[in-house]
Amino acid sequence: EDQVTQSPEALRLQEGESSSLNCSYTVSGLRGLFWYRQDPGKGPEFLFTLYSAGEEKEKERLKATLTKKESFLHITAPKPEDSATYLCAVQAGTALIFGKGTTLSVSS
Amino acid sequence: EAGVAQSPRYKIIEKRQSVAFWCNPISGHATLYWYQQILGQGPKLLIQFQNNGVVDDSQLPKDRFSAERLKGVDSTLKIQPAKLEDSAVYLCASSPRARYNEQFFGPGTRLTVL
């Protein structure tokens, strides 16, 4: 069964304290791994797509990496505005399967 | 460019009542998705349309949920009758023809079933 597991469920950081979020997956035939950001009361906002092991993508303070079994979202020197829920999803056939997300809180 | 529009934003109903949600996708997007997001969970795909045809509705509880996309543009999702466990945010997303990495989500409709 295709599955996505994210950890930790919640993460509290001080401003400037770097850390990583984990997304482990099992899927028959990965066609893409996606990271989204979701703010309270809003729909998910697309961040990155990764297609093959070893691939990396960067955007401002965020960097996503992919191995054969998991993906990491590295957050370097986070700011309070990075506080949000980060969702990981894999493409299985015609559908995206989402994890439960990691809720990140960054305090100043 | 206007984003995905959804209405209403909030809805409170009693169990066994019916409810309908509306979605207007980004202009020109051929693919439209409805997701259910229960509190503390990730979105779960309910149904995917390509133009006005259904591509995937394998996770749609068809005994109570229905959806249509007339003329390949707007879409409505209906629940009849609603159950307590249907309380969730219903998200609509659209993308250019089945390009999953380009899904744009609307703000969602928060449904509370009492």
pLDDT digits (tens, 9 = 90+) for B64-81: 999 999 888 999 999 999
Task: For residue B101, give the chain A residue with the closest CA.
Answer: A49
Q: Which residues of B touch A49 (CB under 8 A)?
A: 101
Mean pLDDT of chain A: 95
pLDDT band at residue A95, thresholds of 50, 70 and 90? confident
For residue B101, is pLDDT > 80?
no
Inter-chain touch B43–A93, beta carbons under 8 Å: no
| Both tokens assigned to B72 | 């390949």
Enclosing H/E stretch for B81: none
- Which one of B40, B45, B107 has the shortest CB-CB distance to A96? B45
Q: In whole angstroms, how far apart are CA A21 and each of B18, B62, B113?
A: 40, 36, 33
Pair B70, B53: CB distance under 8 Å: no
pLDDT band at residue A35, thresholds of 50, 70 and 90? very high
For residue B41, is pLDDT > 70?
yes
DSSP B99: -
CA distance linking residue A39 with residue A86, whole number of Å: 9
- At residue B77, the pLDDT reads 98
Q: What is the pLDDT of residues B5-36, one digit of tens each?
A: 999 999 999 999 999 999 999 999 999 999 99
- At residue B42, the pLDDT reads 95
For residue B105, is pLDDT > 70?
yes
Q: Check CB contact of B94 with chain A, cutoff 8 Å.
A: no
**Strand runs labelled E in B9-95:** 10-13, 19-24, 31-37, 44-50, 53-56, 65-68, 75-79, 88-95
Enclosing H/E stretch for B19: strand B19-24
Inter-chain touch A45–B105, beta carbons under 8 Å: yes
pLDDT band at residue A29, thresholds of 50, 70 and 90? confident
If you average pLDDT over residues A64-75, what whole number do you get? Answer: 96
Which of A46, A47, A57 to probe the B interface (max B CBs under 10 A)? A46
For residue B1, is pLDDT > 70?
no
Q: Check CB contact of B48 with chain A, cutoff 8 Å.
A: yes
Q: Which residues of B touch A89 (CB under 8 A)?
A: 42
pLDDT band at residue A72, thresholds of 50, 70 and 90? very high
- At residue A1, the pLDDT reads 82
If you average pLDDT over residues A73-83, what whole number do you get? Answer: 98
Mean pLDDT of chain B: 94
Percent of chain A with pLDDT over 90: 87
- At residue B49, the pLDDT reads 94
If you average pLDDT over residues B39-68, what whole number do you get? Answer: 94
- At residue A36, the pLDDT reads 96
Q: Which residues of A touch B34 (CB under 8 A)?
A: none
Q: In whole angstroms, how far apart are CA B94 and each of A44, B72, B113?
A: 12, 12, 26
